[in-house]
Amino acid sequence: MKTSSFSFTNTTEHSVDVTPISLGVVTNYAKVADAANRFAGQNKTASVGQGELLQYGCDNIKDVQTDQKVYNPGKVTAGVRYRIRLDEILRTTDSGDATYVVDDPIVLELQIKHSMSGNVTASHIETCFKRLIGACMRSDGSFRFDDLMLSGLTPTVD
């Protein structure tokens, strides 16, 4: 019987839950691209000129590049890459100056790559994803984006 496992032991769950937003992709997004390996949809609840673009994509890759040394590589080296991208427009106005309007783009992208080995399951990806979210947070449940956006990469508080 084969067993897959990770070697990390820091598995304490955050006491703060992150509540995702239910986007309602099927009903709230107008399809602007739909191909075998790409979907793009414009948010129909957003205003014209300040839209939101949601994209899903996937493709096969020759191998999975990692900065880690893989000591016991499997026979399967080919992999898959899939990604989710959200393009947002943040609009800032000034109640004291009706002519002041500034639009700032904000783009978030999640990319996942893994070998096409049968050893990799959706549950393994979920475990890694939760750890990635944990890397964005402090132990008090607050996000580290205030530090990261100022290039403060080294955590100062756990």
Report the candidate in 50, 120, 123, 59 with the shortest Cα–Cα distance to residue 91. Answer: 50
The residue among 152 and 62 whose pLDDT is bigger is 62
Map out the domains of the chain as residue ranges: 25-120, 121-158
**If pLDDT is split at 50, 70 and 90, which confidence band does 158 have?**
low
Q: Note the pLDDT tens digit of each residue in 19-39.
A: 888 999 999 999 998 888 999
Q: Note the pLDDT tens digit of each residue in 106-129.
A: 999 999 999 999 999 999 999 999
Q: What angle do CA 13, 22, 121 make, to 5 degrees?
A: 50
Q: Note the pLDDT tens digit of each residue in 55-106.
A: 999 999 999 999 999 999 999 989 999 999 999 999 999 999 999 999 999 9
Please check whether residue 121 is in contact with residue 6, taking contact to mean a CB–CB distance below 8 angstroms: no
Residue 98 to residues 48, 50, 93, Cα–Cα distance (Å): 19, 17, 8
**Per-residue confidence (pLDDT) for residue 139, from 0 to 100:** 81
**If pLDDT is split at 50, 70 and 90, which confidence band does 12 have?**
confident
Residue 147 to residue 108: CA distance in whole angstroms:
17
Residue 135 to residues 10, 66, 85, 127, 129, Cα–Cα distance (Å): 12, 18, 19, 13, 10
**Tokens representing 116?**
């096409």
Q: 3.40.50.980, 3.40.50.300, 3.30.43.10, 3.30.380.10: which CATH number matches 25-120?
A: 3.30.380.10
Give the SS3 label for residue 58. Answer: strand
**Per-residue pLDDT for 5 more than 80?**
no
